[in-house]
Amino acid sequence: MIEEKSQRKCKARSEGVSRRDFIKASAAVPLTALSWGFASRLYAAGSDKLRVGLIGCGGRGTGAVYDCTSAAPNVEIYALGDLFGDRLDKCLKLLREGDPEYKGHRYGETRPPLGEKLNVTPQRCFVGFDAYKKVIASGVDMVILTTPPHFRPAHLKAAVEAGKHVFMEKPVAVDPVGVRSIIASSELAGQKGLGILAGTQKRHRDYCLEIIKRVHNGDIGQIRAAQCYYTWGTAFSDWGYERQPGWSEMEWQLRRWYFFTWLSGDHIVEQHVHNLDLINWALRSHPLKCLGMGGREVRTAPEFGNIYDHFAVEYEYPDGVRMLSMCSQINGTSQRVSERLVGTKGSTYTDLSIGYIEGQNPFRYEKEGKNPYVQEHEDFIKSIRQGEPLNEGQAVAESTLTAIMGRMSAYTGRELKWDWAMNASKLDLTPPKYEMGDLPVRPAAIPGKTMLI
């Protein structure tokens, strides 16, 4: 009966709002910062219940719920929000009943029913463009942000202003305007003593931590070059939804968001940001400039939206360090997901399962690693309860802009500098309004013709 009511509640559609109203609403969430009473109780006891709201109920959001609730005791899922009622209902069903067919990562995790860890009522299920505001105002202590990346800046802003801790998936923006918003919200979170965890889980992966620690200790000497790759070997052609009669252009794009630059940032931003983040972490810097190229060799059908299927970008970092970045999503091609640093005393290699150093100070990580998707939440919740919450907002914002710079350079064929992209670029991919109606697909970028904004 409860599930029936939930489904009825969650199938309601909110009215469309204009872009101005959406931004205004983001800023209008009450500035009810985390009270000292709650903070003291949570930090001191270390076992008080942490209420979590999920904003974005797709596959990644559902996975993040399992990661978060298995990372620490006394964590409960308290509210759910999504643009679409059917996605919310599917997520809620999985959390209630479990997913016996889930095969998981290589860490052997399962997805059983959440049981007492799930405390969601029909009154705390919200649908529509304003669902995020309602989740934030529902009485949660922390929110998980796993909507399409376009929405991340507005959602983070609202959550921080309302005094909530935040886990936000990477990437955290799709354009420089969004990156600047993320940085501002991260600074405000620091002032309020709030935590921000990013989905760049390599920073919580045990062998990556060991390798980067040795790099920073000088084990490979002075870094002179680097490479990183995310050639995935698939075009994701079966990703998303088949278009249904009655769907507006906006709904079609939102449901198949990966293939539209305004929603995903393109795959160099949405996926390859993991590798770029590790390079920035290792070099303790962002790039100074970049020159990229890319195109659409196989993504020519309308269902592939306007994103590219391959990129190659050269980034220049301080001290003349150059890094080659390559990523692609093309069926039948070789898969390579890895990073390499070359120094004056040796080199490093990391990929999805191993990490090692060759040269004067060789090292190989031999242990079976912990699940980093769970470990990042464990580290985050521990930091909150100790009263010293992690804040990864600035780092993930810079890694996101690193990827955006590469895309902008490839789209336009122009070399560009970090300072210009960060401080002067006016590129804002926000649509004219948020409503389920017409939304023409922007044409795919053509280098030499597409303007650098």
**Concatenated DSSP letters of 312-370:** EEEEE-GGG-EEEEEEE--TTSPPEEEEEEEESSEEEEEESS-EEEEESS-EE--SPPP
Same domain, 218 and 120: no
Same domain, 250 and 299: yes
Residue 446: inside a domain: no
> Residue 61 contacts by C-beta under 8 Å, 6 or more apart in sequence?
54, 55, 82, 91, 144, 146, 147
User: What pLDDT score was predicted for residue 144?
Assistant: 98
Same domain, 24 and 133: yes
pLDDT band at 8 (very low <50, low <70, confident <90, very high): very low
pLDDT digits 0-9 by tens, 269-302: 999 999 999 999 999 999 999 999 999 999 998 8
Q: What is the mean pLDDT of residues 375-396?
A: 98
- Evaluate if residue 267 carries a pLDDT over 90: yes
Q: What is the CATH number of the domain that holds 272?
A: 3.30.360.10
pLDDT digits 0-9 by tens, 147-192: 999 999 999 999 999 999 999 999 999 999 999 999 999 999 999 9
Residue 318: inside a domain: yes
Token digits of residue 53: 């709201």
Instruction: Give the structural domain span for 85.
Output: 2-202+378-391
Residue 270: inside a domain: yes
> Residue 341 contacts by C-beta under 8 Å, 6 or more apart in sequence?
215, 220, 223, 225, 226, 279, 282, 347, 348
Same domain, 382 and 344: no
Same domain, 222 and 178: no
Residue 449: inside a domain: no
Same domain, 7 and 86: yes
User: What pLDDT score was predicted for residue 398?
Assistant: 98
Residue 143: inside a domain: yes
Q: What is the mean pLDDT of residues 37-54?
A: 61
Residue 442: inside a domain: no
Q: What is the CATH number of the domain that holds 48?
A: 3.40.50.720
pLDDT band at 28 (very low <50, low <70, confident <90, very high): very low
Residue 285: inside a domain: yes
Same domain, 214 and 195: no
User: What pLDDT score was predicted for residue 20?
Assistant: 38
User: What pLDDT score was predicted for residue 387?
Assistant: 96
Residue 453: inside a domain: no
Same domain, 193 and 216: no
pTM for this entry: 0.90
Domain count, the chain: 2
pLDDT digits 0-9 by tens, 391-418: 999 999 999 999 999 999 999 999 999 9
Same domain, 163 and 308: no
More confident residue, 186 or 366: 186
Same domain, 80 and 36: yes
Q: Residue 452 has what DSSP assignment? A: P
pLDDT band at 253 (very low <50, low <70, confident <90, very high): very high
- CA-based torsion, 133, 139, 140, 141: positive or negative: positive
User: What pLDDT score was predicted for residue 368?
Assistant: 72
Please name the helix (run of DSSP H) or strand (run of DSSP E) that holds residue 136, with its range, or none.
helix 131-136
Same domain, 10 and 148: yes
Same domain, 422 and 382: no
User: What pLDDT score was predicted for residue 369?
Assistant: 77
- Evaluate if residue 12 carries a pLDDT over 70: no
User: What pLDDT score was predicted for residue 243?
Assistant: 85
Alpha-carbon span 157 to 344, nearest angstrom: 43
